[in-house]
Structure 1
Amino acid sequence: MTTTITYEQLADLAGTDLGHTGYRTVTQDQVNLFADATDDHQWIHVDPERAKAGPFGAPVAHGFLTLSLAVPFWTELLEVKGVSTKVNYGLDRVRFPAPVAVGARVRMRATVAEVVEVRGGYQLTVDQTIEIEGATKPAVVARGLYRFHA
């Protein structure tokens, strides 16, 4: 469910659990397109037959592909009205605890850890966890930085 707030409410968002997104299925087509975009054609990603005999028993998504899903997931979780610019400012840390097999479903859970005023706006530090349906370990644990300007 999307949390919708105004720009003026950003300062009070620290500590807010934004919940989780809906699930998305990671497809082989996505993996192949990401491999083409990044020139990373390692067989564990793009060769389903060979990957069956590999360390994960199936082809897996690139860690950075899974991380990149934080962008559309983020837009599912928070909408801020009254801003002129929204910027993905970066990441403080990222870990990939578990691989995402092609065909797996993933979602993101997020909590706003901190809000600080920056020149012309606010920066949110957000603890993000991309979960794999039915798995005990998450696919991605990251701390994202997002800026909002009036």
Structure 2
Amino acid sequence: MLPGKLADCSSTNAAETEIFLVEGDSAGGSAKQARDRMFQAILPLRGKILNVERKDDSQIYKNSEISDMIVALGLGLLREEFDPSKLRYGKIIVLTDADVDGAHIRTLLLTFLFRYQRGLFANGNIFVGVPPLYK
């Protein structure tokens, strides 16, 4: 079952869809207003996710943010062989704030994806959105 906070897109063709992994409900709300509902999905994540580099698989499975991300992306179980046919979106775009916390969250997300679904990088599915920093 898909996570309740996922604002999914209408299209089921992974080749034409993209999902934005955004930092928090506030960013999620703004992104939902600006998206193309046909092709763009939004998954807001609550703050900093678990640092998977120092956790075992059982701890990672229990983390709701990571579980939601796994289900939303269609990745299947952790450490499962990468299978592009299971991926629900062709582009996975990490979009975090342009501050120190945003950089840390972006690093945590990319670390999880690289450690557990390295094929996403080799296949060219991972993108990073870089918002401007206003002072």
**Do both proteins adopt the same fold according to a TM-score greater than 0.5, normalized to the shorter chain?**
no
Structure with the bigger percentage of strand: 1
Give the TM-score, by structure 1 length: 0.29
